[in-house]
Structure 1
Amino acid sequence: MFILSILFFMIGLVLTAGGIWLLALDGSPYYVIAGVILLAVSFTLRRRRVIANSLYALLLIGTMAWSLWESGFSWWPLASRMGTLLVLALPLMIFVGRKGRAAQRLLLPAWAVCTVLTLSPLAMDDPTAVKGTMAESVVNPSAATGLANPEEWHAYGRSNLGQRYAPVNQITTDNIDDLTLAWQYQTGDTKGPEDVTETTYEATPLKIGNALYLCTPHNWLIALNADSGEELWVYDAKVPAESQRQHQTCRGVSYLPAADSSKQNLAKKQNQPAQELASMQCDAQIFLPTSDARLLAVDPETGALCSNFADNGTLDLMHNMPYKQSGFYYSTSPPLVAGGKVIVAGSVNDNYAVNSPSGVIRAYDAKTGELMWNWDAGHPEDTTPIGEDETYAVSSPNSWSVASADEELGLAYFPMGNRTPDQLGMYRSPADEKYATSVVALSLETGQAEWVQQFVHHDLWDMDTPAQPVLLDLNTDKGVEPALVVPTKQGDVYVLNRGTGEPIFPITEEPAPQGSIPGDFTAPTQPTSAVTFKPEPLTEAKMWGATPIDQMLCRIEFNSLDYEGRYTAPSEKGAIVFPGNFGVFNWGSVAVDPKRQVMFGMPLYLAFTSKLVAKTGQDLGETNQGEQGLNENAGAPYAVEMGPFLSPLGVPCQQPPWGYVAGVDLRTGETAWKHKNGTIEDLTPLALPIQMGVPGIGGPILTDSGVAFMAASVDDYIRAYDVKTGAQIWQSRLPAGGQATPMTYMNSKGEQMVIQVAGGHGSIGTTIGDYVVAYKLAK
C-alpha cells in the first residue's frame, strides 16, 4: 500500500498544482478537485482504507458525471478521462486487507458502473459520423473525363480536368476481395542523412502506351513496364543536396504527346542508362521539374534529354528572379501542359525571408522552351514576356500545387498561395492582396487573368489554396453549368462557374476575429462556402490526452494561447490555428465522378500553433529547418514558430477523430456520408489496429464501378471504399507510408491495375521507403 500511496500522492500533487494554474486561466475546476481528493486518498490509504476507498469511489462518480457533461457518450473523450482512474482503482479493490471488504461496498459498484458507462460508446454509433448513401444514378452519361481511353493516365489527375476519375469498372465492390499484389518495384532513391526533414515520396505515375512514368524525391525519372513493373530506363537529374529547401519531393511529371501519334513507340527497352544517351529531337516529351529549379524535357522512349527544348533539354527557372537564394524556389508539382504550352509555377519557401524569389507563373512553348507569357501576381496586368534585364516582383504570391485547364474555354486554373511571410501582412501590395489565397483563371493564349475568386482575405494563417481544382459539367437549377470544384485548407469546398468565376453554391461573408500586431490588420469578414467541412470551434472541453495529466496540460496550453475560432490573428503570445497548416484539404485534393456528379474527399482536422517571435538582436538559435519549427523571416521584425498542437506525450491536444472520408452530392452540395478513417497501428509501440480516424496526406481516386482507392493516412495501408456508403471494403498493408495519390489503368492484357507509390513522409513520420506497388484481381 505504501507504493500505491506514494503514486496517488504524486498524481494528486501534479493535478492540484496544474489545476490551480488552469483555474487561474479561467479553466475547469475539476483538476484541482480531483487532485485534492487523490491527496486525501493517499493520506488515508494506509490506515483508513474505508475512507480512502470511499473517497476514490466519489472521485470516480464525480469524474464520470463531469465527463458525460463535457463530452457525452463518445468513446475517446470518456476513455481519456476515465481510463487511468479505473485502472488505479483495481489495486484498491484487490489488495483490501483484513478490514478492507467494507471499503469495497461503495468502490466496487462505483467502479463497475463507471466501467460500463465508459465502455458503452463502443456499442453505439460513432457520434461524429454522418450516415447515408450517395446517389448512384448516372445523370450525365456523356460527361467529359478528359481521356476516354481507360488504358491511359496522362496527367497528374489523369487529365487536365483533375477529376482523378477513371472510366474503368473491372474491380467492383463484389470482387474487391480478390484484389492482390501483382508486382512491386523499388526505385533505390531513399532519404539520406543530408536531406531536409520533409523529404517525401508523393508521386502519382503517368500511364502512356504500355509504360509508367514517375519521379522520385531526388528527381529521378523512371520508366516501368505497365504490365510487369520491369524497369525500362532511369534518368537521374543529379540534384545536389540543399539544406535551405523546405521540401525534397516530386509529385509527378507531365506529358506532351507527339504531334503525330504514330511516331510514338513508347516503353522501348534500352541497353544503357539514360544519362549515356545523346540528346535528341523528341516527338513526345515528358517534363520533369527539379528541386534545384530546372525544368527538363525528356524523351519518353529513350530517357534522353530533348535537344529541341530550351538549352538542350534543360530550362533554368531562376531566370529573371529578383532574388536567387539557393533552395528558396523550385517546383514540387508537375507543370500544366495545355494549348501547346508547358506552364510552370513554383513553390517559394514560407517564412525564410521577406525578400525571396517571385511566385510568377510562366508559359513556355512546349516544343522549344521559348517564353510565351508570364503572369506575376505582383504585377498582374503585363503578361508580355519579360526582358533579359528585368526582374519579376519580389516574393509575389505563388502557386505550388497542381493546375487544371479547359482548352475549349481557353482557360487555365491555378490555386494560389500567399506572399511570404505568411503571418505578416504589412509587406503586401494591393495586387498581392487581390490574388493571394484564391483560384485564378488565366488565358491560355495571353496569360491575362480572366477572373479570380479569393478564399481568405488578408491571409495571415498560411491558408494557401493547396488543391488542384476539379472540372466537371454540373447539373444545376439553371441547367448544365461548367463547374470548378476547389477544396481549401480552411475546410470550405467552393463550387464555381469556371467560365465566369461566379459561385454555383452561395458564398457568404462571416465576421472574423479582430486584432493584430502593430502595423498590420485583420480583415473584418471572411468568406465561407455553402459546401463546407469547416470544423466546429475548439473548446477547453475538446482538449484530449492519453492521461488526465496530459489532458490537463493541453487545457492549460489551450487557455494560455489566443483562440477566437478560425482566423485568430497571429500574436507574440501565441495563437491556435484551426484548421491547422495541413488544412482540412491539401494537395491530394478530391476525386469527382463526372457522370454521377459526386465527390470523394478526405477531410482532416489537426490544430497547429503559431507564435510571432520579436527579433531584438538576440540569437534565435536554429532556424529554417522546414515549415514547422522556428523560421527566421529575414528582413522582418518577427520570426515565426509553428507546429502541431500536441500534448507532452506527442499526441494531438484536441480529441479524435482527426481524419475522415466523406462523400458529397455535388448537385445538392449535401454531405451524403462521413466516416472516420485510419488506425493508430503505426502510431503506438503496441501496433494496435484501432480505428481512430487519423491524419493523412495524399488523395483519392474514383472508378466507374463506384470504388474509391486511397492510402494517405499515417498507418501504412492502401484502402478501397464503396462510394455509395463510404464503407471501407478492402485494405492492403504497404511496405512504407502511402503519402501519394494512387492511380489505375487497364494493362495490355485487359487487366485493371491499381498503382500506389509508398515511400513515406518526413514531416509526419511515416515509414520511409522507395516502393511502387501494383495490384490486380487474382485469376
Structure 2
Amino acid sequence: MQALPQCLRARFFWCIAVLLLSAIGVARGQAANSVEWPAYGNDAGGMRFSPLKQINPTNVKQLTVAWTFRTGELEHYKGTSADEKAAFEATPIMVDGTLFFSTPTSRVFAVDAATGQKKWDYNPDVYLRQDLSEITSRGVSCWPAPADKRASGSSGKRIFVATLDGRLIALDAVTGKPISTFGKEGSVDLRKGVGNISVTSPPAVIGNTIVVGSSMGDNQRFNYERGVVRAYDALTGALRWSWDPIPRSKNDAGFTTWKGAEATQTGAANAWSLISADAERDLVFIPTTSPSPDYYGGERIGSNLYASSIVAIRASTGKVVWHFQTVHHDLWDYDNASQPLLFTFTKNGKAVPAVAVGTKVGHVFILNRETGVPLLPVEERPVPKSTVPGEEAFPTQPFPATLPLLGLPKLEAWGLTPDDKAVAQRRINSLHYEGMFTPPSLQGSLIAPGNVGGVHWGGMCYDPQSGLLITNINRLAAAIRLLPREKLAESVKNDQELLRAETGMQAGTPYVMKRSYLFTKDGRGIIMQTPPPWGTLVAINLQKGSLAWEVPLGYMMDITKYPQAKQWGSLNFGGAIATAGGVIFVAASLDGHLRAFNTQDGSLLWEVALPAGGQATPMTYQINGQQYVVIAAGGHGKLGTKLGDYVVAYRLP
C-alpha cells in the first residue's frame, strides 16, 4: 500500500486508537453487565451483600416474575416419608451465567441465569428410607473461588456438593458429570471412619482445599459420632487434614476442660452450618455446636472447648489459630448455627479485619479476625446453677457488653383472649425460670430463647455502605424437662403434655429429655404464649452499639380474622441479603412471602406471595444488564409450610 501523507497517517492511527478503545469499552461493558453471586453468601466470608443498584426503593414495587424453574423434587418423595422432614433451604450460586443449586435430596441443577432453562442435572441417588435427621441441602460450592490466587492446577470449574448420605462429590461445571479423577469416580466417602453423618451445608472453598463439616441427629445418645471437620484436595479428593473439636487425649489442647470418666467419648460439637474462608490469611472459621446430648452435660463437666465456639483454623495445615467460645458447657442446644460473617470493622479510626458472630442466645460478638480478641467488650456474667443431680452448669457465660440482645431476655404470659393468657400464665408458673441460661431441670425449665433462636441458621448480612449488621431473629421459648430414666414410664403415665412432647432418649446418661415450646395450636392456628413480636428483622449500628431499627417479619395467623397479626411477626427460617441499591430481601416467615425492606429505616417496600414456603435465603445477580432476585420456594416439612419445587426469579419490567 502506498505510504499515506503525514496528516492522513496521523488521522488513520487516531481512528485505529478510537476503534481499539471502543472495543475495550464494549468488552468492559459486557463484563459490567454481568455481576455474579459465586458463593452461598456471595463472598467466601458470608457478607451477603451485592453491589447492584438497579433495584432500589423507588422501583422495587415493579418487580415481576422473570422465570420459574421446577425441580420435580416432590416426585422423589413418593413412597417415603421424606416430605415430613424435607426443606428446600438452598441458596443458588451464579457463575458464568449459570445458576447452580441443590434440592433437599442433594440433587444438583444448573440453570441458565437469564432464561431459567435447565442446562443439566445430577442425581446422587440418596436413599431416602435410611435414618436421616434432616432432609435438606443449603446449596453447592464452586471451585476455584473468585480472585483466590491460591487456587491452581485445572482449567475447568468444578461444582461441589456434600450429600445427605455423607459424600463429597465433584462435578464438571459445564457438563454436570462427576470428575473421574476426584476421589473414587468423582466422590469421597465422608462416613468412612466417622459414622452415620450427613452434610446439609455447602463446603468452604479456599485455594485448592475443600473444607467440610457434618450434620447429625441430636439427643439420642451420649456417644454420638465425632464432629470432625475435614479438608480435601480439590483436584484429587485426597484428605489433607482432619480436626476434631473435642480433645481426645491428654496432649490435646483443651483436654482439661472436659472432666468425667467418659468425657472423651462425647460426640457431636460438629459444624453443620456454613464455614467461612479468608484466602488472604489462609484461615477458615468453623462454627461448632453443642456436644451430645444437648441438654445434659454430667458426663462432660467443664467449659468443653472447642464446642459451641468459633474456631479459626489454618487452611493449609489444619492447626487451630484461635478460638472464641460463645457458650460454656452448653446445656441449651445453643449451636453456632449461622455462618461467621467476615467484614471490615472501623475501630479508633482504623480498618480492622473482623468476624461477626450471631448466636441462638441472641448475642452478637465482634472479634478480630486474625486473633479472636473481641473488638467490642465482652463480659463474663454469673448465670443460674443447675439443680439436676450429676450436673454442673458453668458459673458464667459471655455477654456482649455494648451491643443489644436480640433474643428473648424476659418472659411474660400472652394470649389472644384472657383465657388464653391465663393458660399461658399457668404453664409459665409451672416451670423453673431464673432468666437467661436457666439450666434444664427435673421440674421442667423455661429456656428463653429456645433452640430455634435468637439468630438461627439464616444468619446475618452486612451493608458496608451504611455500616448496618442485619439479621432476622426468632423469639420462642422452649420447655425442657429431664426425667430420671428408671422412672420414665411412671412420669409420663398420666401427663398428656409430657406424652405429646418431643423425646430425646439421651442414652448413656441418667435422664431422658422432653422438649416442647410455648405455644398451643388449635383451629385458630398457632397461639403463642409469650408477647409478640415473635419474629423480626433487625439492623444494628455497630459503631453506635445500638439498634438502628427493628420491624416485624411476616405473620402466622389469618390476617382476615386477625389483621393485627401483621404486627406480630412470624417464626422464620432462612436469611436476608443486602444490596447497594438500599434494599434488603428476605422471605423465611411462615406466611410464604418474599419481602423487600428499606435498608435505612426497615420500612416494607414490597411483598409477593411465593408458590410454596420460602424457608431459604435469596440471592441476586445481574446478567445482560438486568438485575435478578432469586429464591428457592419449596417449603418446610417440619414447620408445615406448603411444599413445592420452585426456584423463582424476579426482575424489573
TM-score bracket relative to the smaller structure: 0.7 to 0.9
Name 2:239's counterpart in structure 1: 371
| One of 535, 539, 544 as aligned partner of 1:659 | 535
Q: Distance in 1 between matches of 2:267 and 2:182?
A: 28
1:258 and 1:284 in contact (8 A); partners too: no
2:559 and 2:566 in contact (8 A); partners too: no
Alignment of 1:147-186 (within 5 A): 151-186=35-70
Q: Summarize the Cα distance change of 1:607–1:259 in structure 2 as closer, same or farther, 3 Å threshold.
A: closer
Q: Distance in 2 between matches of 1:686 and 1:524?
A: 44
Name 2:84's counterpart in structure 1: 197
Q: CA deviation at 1:613?
A: 2.3
Alignment of 1:528-539 (within 5 A): 528-529=399-400, 530-535=402-407, 537-539=409-411
1:204 and 1:757 in contact (8 A); partners too: yes
Q: CA deviation at 1:684?
A: 8.5
Higher helix share: 1
1:250 partner amino acid: S
Find out whether 1:642 has 2:515 as its counterpart.
yes
Which consecutive residues of structure 1, in runs of 5 or more, have no partner in the other structure?
1-146, 262-280, 384-391
Name 1:84's counterpart in structure 2: none
Find out whether 1:755 has 2:630 as its counterpart.
yes
1:215 partner amino acid: S
2:633 partner amino acid: A
| One of 354, 364, 371 as aligned partner of 1:493 | 364
Name 1:765's counterpart in structure 2: 640
2:202 partner amino acid: P
Q: Distance in 1 between matches of 2:457 and 2:270?
A: 14
Q: Distance in 1 between matches of 2:478 and 2:146?
A: 49
| One of 172, 183, 186 as aligned partner of 1:313 | 186
Q: CA deviation at 1:763?
A: 2.1
Name 1:724's counterpart in structure 2: 600
Q: Summarize the Cα distance change of 1:228–1:544 in structure 2 as closer, same or farther, 3 Å threshold.
A: same
Q: CA deviation at 1:205?
A: 0.3
Q: Distance in 2 between matches of 1:402 and 1:769?
A: 24
Query: CA-to-partner distance for each residue in 1:312-359, whole Å, 9 max, x for gaps?
Result: 1111111222xx3x4xx2111111111310011011211012122110
Name 2:584's counterpart in structure 1: 708
Q: CA deviation at 1:499?
A: 0.4
| One of 518, 536, 548 as aligned partner of 2:389 | 518
1:682 and 1:714 in contact (8 A); partners too: no
1:150 and 1:166 in contact (8 A); partners too: no
Name 1:11's counterpart in structure 2: none
1:680 and 1:688 in contact (8 A); partners too: no
SS of structure 2 residue aligned to 1:414? strand
Q: CA deviation at 1:597?
A: 2.3
| One of 480, 503, 507 as aligned partner of 1:610 | 480
Q: Distance in 2 between matches of 1:683 and 1:221?
A: 37
Name 2:18's counterpart in structure 1: none
Find out whether 1:244 has 2:131 as its counterpart.
yes
1:644 and 1:652 in contact (8 A); partners too: no
2:588 partner amino acid: A
Q: Distance in 2 between matches of 1:677 and 1:750?
A: 31
Alignment of 1:418-497 (within 5 A): 418-428=290-300, 433-477=304-348, 479-497=350-368
SS of structure 2 residue aligned to 1:737? coil
| One of 455, 458, 469 as aligned partner of 1:599 | 469
Name 1:509's counterpart in structure 2: 380
Query: CA-to-partner distance for each residue in 1:452-493, whole Å, 9 max, x for gaps?
Result: 111111110000111101111111116111111111100111
Q: CA deviation at 1:601?
A: 1.2
2:473 and 2:572 in contact (8 A); partners too: no
SS of structure 2 residue aligned to 1:656? coil
Name 1:386's counterpart in structure 2: none
Name 1:343's counterpart in structure 2: 211
Find out whether 1:332 has 2:332 as its counterpart.
no
Cα-Cα RMSD? 2.6
2:217 partner amino acid: N
2:552 and 2:568 in contact (8 A); partners too: yes
SS of structure 2 residue aligned to 1:693? coil
Deviating runs (4+, > 4 A) in structure 1? 147-150, 258-261, 380-383, 617-622, 681-689
Q: Summarize the Cα distance change of 1:660–1:576 in structure 2 as closer, same or farther, 3 Å threshold.
A: same
Q: Summarize the Cα distance change of 1:152–1:232 in structure 2 as closer, same or farther, 3 Å threshold.
A: same
1:609 partner amino acid: A
Name 1:412's counterpart in structure 2: 284
**Matched residue count:** 592
1:662 and 1:671 in contact (8 A); partners too: yes
Q: Summarize the Cα distance change of 1:560–1:205 in structure 2 as closer, same or farther, 3 Å threshold.
A: same
Deviates more, 1:725-734 or 1:682-691: 682-691
Alignment of 1:553-632 (within 5 A): 553-616=423-486, 629-632=502-505
SS of structure 1 residue aligned to 2:317? coil
2:110 partner amino acid: A
SS of structure 2 residue aligned to 1:223? strand
Q: Distance in 1 between matches of 2:40 and 2:146?
A: 21
Q: Distance in 2 between matches of 1:258 and 1:498?
A: 20
SS of structure 1 residue aligned to 2:420? helix
Query: CA-to-partner distance for each residue in 1:476-527, whole Å, 9 max, x for gaps?
Result: 1161111111111001111010101011110011220112311111111111
Find out whether 1:360 has 2:228 as its counterpart.
yes
Q: Summarize the Cα distance change of 1:734–1:574 in structure 2 as closer, same or farther, 3 Å threshold.
A: same
Which consecutive residues of structure 2, in runs of 5 or more, have no partner in the other structure?
1-30, 149-153, 254-263, 494-499
Query: CA-to-partner distance for each residue in 1:366-425, whole Å, 9 max, x for gaps?
Result: 111111111111238779xxxxxxxx9651411110011111111110111011101111
Q: Distance in 1 between matches of 2:113 and 2:511?
A: 51
Q: CA deviation at 1:666?
A: 2.2
SS of structure 2 residue aligned to 1:761? coil
1:282 and 1:308 in contact (8 A); partners too: no
2:408 and 2:475 in contact (8 A); partners too: no
Query: CA-to-partner distance for each residue in 1:164-197, whole Å, 9 max, x for gaps?
Result: 0011111011111211111111111125542273
1:421 partner amino acid: P
Query: CA-to-partner distance for each residue in 1:654-699, whole Å, 9 max, x for gaps?
Result: 0211111111122232211111221235688889973321111110
Query: CA-to-partner distance for each residue in 1:265-296, whole Å, 9 max, x for gaps?
Result: xxxxxxxxxxxxxxxx9832111111111111
Deviates more, 1:563-572 or 1:241-250: 241-250
Query: CA-to-partner distance for each residue in 1:608-634, whole Å, 9 max, x for gaps?
Result: 111112211766999xxxx98112122
1:150 and 1:168 in contact (8 A); partners too: no
SS of structure 1 residue aligned to 2:429? helix
Name 2:6's counterpart in structure 1: none
Q: CA deviation at 1:232?
A: 1.2
1:697 partner amino acid: F
TM-score, normalization: structure 2? Answer: 0.86
1:437 and 1:459 in contact (8 A); partners too: yes
SS of structure 1 residue aligned to 2:84? coil
| One of 548, 551, 558 as aligned partner of 1:675 | 551
Query: CA-to-partner distance for each residue in 1:300-320, whole Å, 9 max, x for gaps?
Result: 111111111111111111122
Q: Distance in 2 between matches of 1:600 and 1:534?
A: 11
Q: Distance in 2 between matches of 1:544 and 1:689?
A: 14
1:360 and 1:376 in contact (8 A); partners too: yes
